[in-house]
Amino acid sequence: MSTLVTGIAELVTNDPEAGEGPLGTLAGAALVVSGDHVVWVGAARDAPDADTRVDVGGRAVLPGFVDSHAHLVFAGDRAAEFEARMSGTPYDGGGIATTVAATRAATDDELRGHLRALVEEMRGQGTTTVEVKSGYGLDVEQEARALRLAREVTEETTFLGAHVVPPEYAGRTGEYVALVTGPMLAACAPHARWIDVFCEPASAHAFDGDAARAVLSAGRDAGLGLRVHANQLSAGPGVQLAVELGAASADHCTHLTDDDVDALASGTTVATLLPGVEFATRSPYPDARRLLEAGVTVALATDCNPGSCYTSSMPFCIALAVREMGMTPAEAVWAATAGGAAALDRGDVGRLGVGARADLTVHDAPSYRPLAYRPGVPLARALAI
């Protein structure tokens, strides 16, 4: 069964050889989908026949957004914490314990229903690939449960047992790291593609460089790919550890030294920026321009979670990246699509060319540009074919 998509005023391919500029844009384009994949891309006038036809009516079509960092398995909310922050209380990760308690008390169906609603909310804003972390269970059973639920909605599941030290291990971080790297990892690895750690010596709740190294090394030995919550609250060891261990992504990168930027530029680790967090924690935005000029691959993601940033909107993050972080609209769109794919080491998403997954986002405008130009306007949605 093949489908011809027509009426595309502007197609973003993310292949500079297929079209104009860094996004490889094609005006007056068409695209043919067969099964789950793109089998033809080109000018509408050259389009081949297909079994069915979808006319998007003169709109822009982009690769679906790849949200490579999200925490969607949780119960409850922390609106009161957000309000306190807006009055000056700083974010330090301490509120995570509140979500851990609510999540542990929730049934599978409650967690599943909320998770699925968030994934649908994301699709309604153009996201077609999402990474989902555990990290609000923090015991063997609860972390494995979170990952089993996450696997129901995505292949991109991440074991984040080392999110914070849970209350019952207060003052016993070493023992908790032994649990995470031992029985918890053994129970969770079958349900996860990635392992992550909140490496933040500036937080009383998170993990220092040595603990983070132990967690990541154990995860690598168990066959998982590496990701790191790095340099969110301070210029700590996370970014350089991520690069040294060959992590796919160092996420946050809010506070970077010149050595951190040099390390990112010299390695393969993607810098994943999460501007919704700076927005919702009143923190300084990372300087994306500095990273891009150093040659670092930059991704944008939401970090959707009940604490530091409760947005599911990639368009919102694109608008912030352009307004606050020195990215051009084209760079921000690339970072939210191809950049996210790079952060997840995926060649089949984040682009629209022959062989790519048929993950299409339609924009209610003739160009990708209004994503940043018309912030807060619901222009993007995933196209069901």
Four-residue CA torsion sign, 250, 254, 255, 260: positive
C-alpha count within 13 angstroms, C-beta hemisphere, residue 69: 36
Q: What are phi and psi of 323, to 5 degrees?
A: -75, -35
Q: Which is nearer to Fe ion, 18 or 75 (CB)?
A: 75
Minimum CB separation of residue 95 from ligand NIG in Å reads 6
Q: Which is nearer to ligand NIG, 227 or 357 (CB)?
A: 227
Question: Where would I find the H helices in the chain?
Answer: 79-86, 96-105, 108-123, 140-151, 173-179, 185-188, 209-221, 238-244, 258-266, 275-281, 288-293, 314-324, 329-334, 340-343, 370-373
Residue choice 64, 95, 225, 237 for contact with ligand NIG (CB under 6 A):
95
Minimum CB separation of residue 268 from ligand NIG in Å reads 22
Minimum CB separation of residue 305 from ligand NIG in Å reads 4
Q: What is the token pair recorded at 351?
A: 């682009």
Q: How far apart are CA 298 and CA 155, in angstroms?
A: 22
Residues 161 to 220: which contact ligand NIG by CB under 6 A? 198
Binding mask 174-213 toward Fe ion (x if CB under 5 A, else -) reads: ----------------------------------------
Q: Which of 94-102, 111-119, 217-225, 325-333 is the region at the interface with ligand NIG (rule: CB under 6 A)?
A: 94-102
Q: Which does 93 bind (CB under 5 to 8 A by kind): Fe ion, ligand NIG, none?
A: ligand NIG
Minimum CB separation of residue 307 from ligand NIG in Å reads 2
- Nearest 5°: CA angle at 227, between 226 and 230? 135
Q: How far apart are CA 334 and CA 350, in angstroms?
A: 8
Q: Which is nearer to Fe ion, 10 or 303 (CB)?
A: 303
Residue choice 99, 127, 240, 313 for contact with ligand NIG (CB under 6 A):
99
Binding mask 291-330 toward Fe ion (x if CB under 5 A, else -) reads: ------------x---------------------------
Q: Buried b vs exposed e over 68-78: b needs ≥16 C-beta within 10 Å?
A: bbbbbbbbbeb
Give the count of residues interacting with ligand NIG (CB under 6 A): 14
Give the count of residues interacting with Fe ion (CB under 5 A): 1
Q: Which of 303-311, 329-337, 356-364, 377-385 is the region at the interface with ligand NIG (rule: CB under 6 A)?
A: 303-311
Q: At what angle do helices 96-105 and 140-151 cross, to 10 degrees?
A: 80
Q: Which is nearer to Fe ion, 114 or 363 (CB)?
A: 114
Instruction: Write the CB contacts of 83 (distance below 8 Å, at least 6 apart in sequence).
Output: none
Q: Which is nearer to ligand NIG, 135 or 267 (CB)?
A: 135
Q: Does 156 bind Fe ion (CB under 5 A)?
A: no
Give residues in contact with ligand NIG (CB under 6 A): 71, 93, 95-96, 99, 198, 229, 232, 277, 303, 305-308
